[in-house]
Amino acid sequence: METESNNTATQKLPLQGAGGARALLANVKGDRWIWLIVIMLSVISTLAVYSSIGTLAYTKGVGVESILAKHVFMIVLGIGLMYVSHRLDYRYYAGISKLLMIITIPLLAYTLFFGSNINHASRWIPIPGTGLGFQTSDLAKLALITYLARILSRKQENIKDVKESFIPIMGSVCLVFALIGPANLSTGLMLFGVSILLLIMGRISVKQISVVCLIGAVLLAGMLFLGSRRATHISRVKAFFHPELADQDKLFQGNHAKIAIATGGFFGKGPGRSTERNYLPEAFSDEIFAIIVEEYGLFGGIVVISIYLFLLYRCIKIVTKAPKAFGALLAAGLSFSLTIQAFANMAVAVGLGPVTGVPLPLISMGGTSILFTSIAFGIILSVSRDIDEPKKVMVGEIREA
């Protein structure tokens, strides 16, 4: 009798575990295709980072496995944050956006003047006791997009009022750009471009948008000709347009990225067989797309491009079906930010743009970049929940009737 009861208890344990897994999956809401995209990008990231961190591990004097373990931990933590953020009703992010902006502006100012200076750029704030750095521009992207979505959705009745609507919008966009641009011009320009797209969607007049663009152009000119990194910015632009006149050191990264892509062929050299990873200084981050193409060929590159295009397609569907203006603007801004960043990174890798420090979302190795990208995905999923759940309620009401 005791043996039978023990067997019964043993049989119940797997069932209880399966029930817990089913309960967890039942709480996963939103667009299932976006969840699948996140999983696919995470798998690609793990493979590509593992293949490209050999030189980094040697330089730091640690094993490749320890760096990979930290990267996988950040991916898992990011998926956890995405799960939490997608469970929160997206309407709460309207209130959170004000708090984020209040925190972000002082942090950006502190980073610009007192942040860690790496590669002649002050972009990070060290986190005491962790050995990690916090890149404040990642928080700024999330804060500004949610804040603009909030203002544009709430000020539609007097959207053309200069004092009530235009000045707060123009001030927030230009201030964030002015604080990010001097140290991270590429990120600042992309965020400024996404902001302009949101202003167009939010029915801001052409005249007012032109004023914002004019002020942005003045700020850009100041950063290019008066900023502390003006020499770096100008040399990169000159190297892109006139490579024959540029110093070969300035072309080193771009040339080896092109070699990696050119030698990849259609199906690539195979996983872990990259040779250019030993030469590219940021093979695991800025130039990771070149490593993917080298190892998986043109086919692998097309797969990655298709995933980001499909992400944009799913997000556009969410934007068009969102019942509230805030949700539509929020999903649009975040999706534009992710996809523009992705294609900017890939364009640099194939030589279609000057060298920048923009990572490939959810694929490049990183800390705060992965975490805030995951939160952005979670917010988009939260907006998509608002589309799916009303349908389920309506179906339930019909059945009850």
Q: Can you give the residue ranges of every domain in the chain?
A: 32-87+248-393, 91-228
Dump pLDDT digits (tens) for 226-247. 766 667 767 777 777 767 666 6
| Predicted model pTM | 0.86
- Residue 125, phi then psi, degrees to nearest 5: -115, 120
Dump pLDDT digits (tens) for 63-72. 889 999 999 9
Question: Please, what is the average pLDDT of the chain?
Answer: 83
Q: Are 51 and 277 in contact (CB under 8 A)?
A: yes
The pLDDT score that the predictor gives to residue 39 is: 95
Roughly what angle, to the nearest 10 degrees, separates helices 92-114 and 136-154?
Answer: 140
The pLDDT score that the predictor gives to residue 155 is: 80
Residues 6+ apart with CB under 8 A from 190: 337, 340, 341, 344, 358
The pLDDT score that the predictor gives to residue 119 is: 58
Amino acid at 151: I
Name residues of the chain where pLDDT drops below 50. Answer: 1-6, 8-13, 15, 392-401
Amino acid at 231: A
274-278, long-range: CB < 8 A, 24+ apart: 274/51, 274/52, 277/51, 277/52, 277/54, 277/55, 278/54, 278/55
Torsion sign (Cα): 142, 145, 151, 157? negative
Amino acid at 85: S
Q: Which of 56, 65, 120 is nearest to 283 (CA)?
A: 56
DSSP state of 205: -
Residues 6+ apart with CB under 8 A from 72: 46
Dump pLDDT digits (tens) for 172-224. 999 999 999 888 888 889 999 999 999 999 888 888 899 999 999 998 888 87
The pLDDT score that the predictor gives to residue 393 is: 43
